[in-house]
Structure 1
Amino acid sequence: MQNDLLGPVEELRDIDPSLLNAEIPGEQYRDVFLSLFERSGIGLAVLDSTLRVRSVNSALSAQCGMRPEEMRGRDFAEFLHPGVRQDVLRQLGRLVQGSKACLDALSVDTCFDRTAVSGELTAFPVEDDSGRVKAIMVQFTPGETAGDHHARVGPQGKLTPLSAKVLEGVAAGDPTVRLAAKLFLSRQGIEYHVGALLRQFDVPNRTALAAKAYSMGMFSMGCWPPRLRPGSIRSDPQGADRAGGGTRTEPGARRR
């Protein structure tokens, strides 16, 4: 059986079938492995020592929102959400370098950029005869969706449209006066909303607020000025004037 999906897998170290306690002829072992790789339903991929995707099954490519042929030959980093990219690459790099701290495998929280599917990535090194890591087998176990992730932002869950605009302005670096002019609020009104967001996200300042929102995948990637994903904002128009779950008149709001 020939499977072009896994063409590069033959570069991995061959496994002696005699080591297995199973009645599988040696010439059929590769076919069994290829079938398991593709049909297991588990997200799997093989990365080379430069962390490029050499092989990927349909389960993992679907979780990335792409076709297998679109992923092969590209840096694995391209598919990771910016909020986790640096940490995942650092951990995989340590594994490639043979860090003893990683032992035989590592597990790290991961989120894919295109789909915002998050979960646990487990990576296993594949060594050559000299003990040098020549490839990495990765397994992805999905956990929560982007909606689940956003729901834990705070007790109110998704942001009201007005709070979302304030957060976008904070992420863009708008000072209070400019943001007040954009949103037709007073300076006190902006400070009220910013203070509420700081408490909701449990962060000490505006910089940390923007960073945490980005790390949680709330912002659309590659967009400037920053824009929140639609799934992060309440859809009900009545929510625009609510903060903390109750209807109220915001302090310092301007009349048009």
Structure 2
Amino acid sequence: MPKENKDSAAPVYAAQACPLSAVIVAAETGFAAQFGVSPGEIHGCLPSDLLHVGTPESLRQRFTGLCEGHTLWFTEKVIGQHCRGTTFTARLTAGTATAPTGLTGLMLLLSPTTRETPPARTVLTALEARILDGVAAGASTELLAERLCLSRRGVDYHIRQMLRRFDAPNRRALAAQVGALGLLGPSHATAPGRRANDSSNWSAETTGMRETPAGWATAAQS
């Protein structure tokens, strides 16, 4: 794995992941702060739950290559999101690292490059809108994870972020509040003939759907 460029002015924050599953097991405070959370809140998440490059599957495939020993390291330009709703771009370098004890793990180095100005009003990304549409339809965490190419922990992470942003006490209140604010947009409104809390309809509507780079774009603008 290449060494960090100590002459670079850009800060670099580190996290460690399990070499078998790529699940994050430890993170520096600065790494977690890029998402506006504490290190404990991202433990158990996959890197692709937090960061996007192309589609979530493409980043997961890069980490699968590391876990299976097909590659030793890689560097990608990624996009992440702060809990306030702003997005940032960063350079992610990930690779295998061996401690003096002989134990091998995955090291993640995140170097932020740009960050958006906070929006004048609260907005949702397309990914968040899809999660909330599923929540409103009564979809389970397992179904949300399967349809949106996230881990179960990743689904919970994004919902916690939105609960914090909208100051909502639970998922049901969150979906109702966001719907009342009109942030889901017409594409996420209840379709004709579809009953509220009908997860089977939501499942059918999202079959084959995989989040795209546009998932980090705002789902509602005004």
Larger Rg over CA atoms: 1
* TM-score under structure 2 length normalisation: 0.45
Q: Which has the larger share of strand?
A: 2
Which protein is richer in helix relative to its size?
A: 1
Which one scores higher on RCO, CA 8 angstroms, separation ≥ 6? 2
TM, length-normalised to structure 1? 0.40
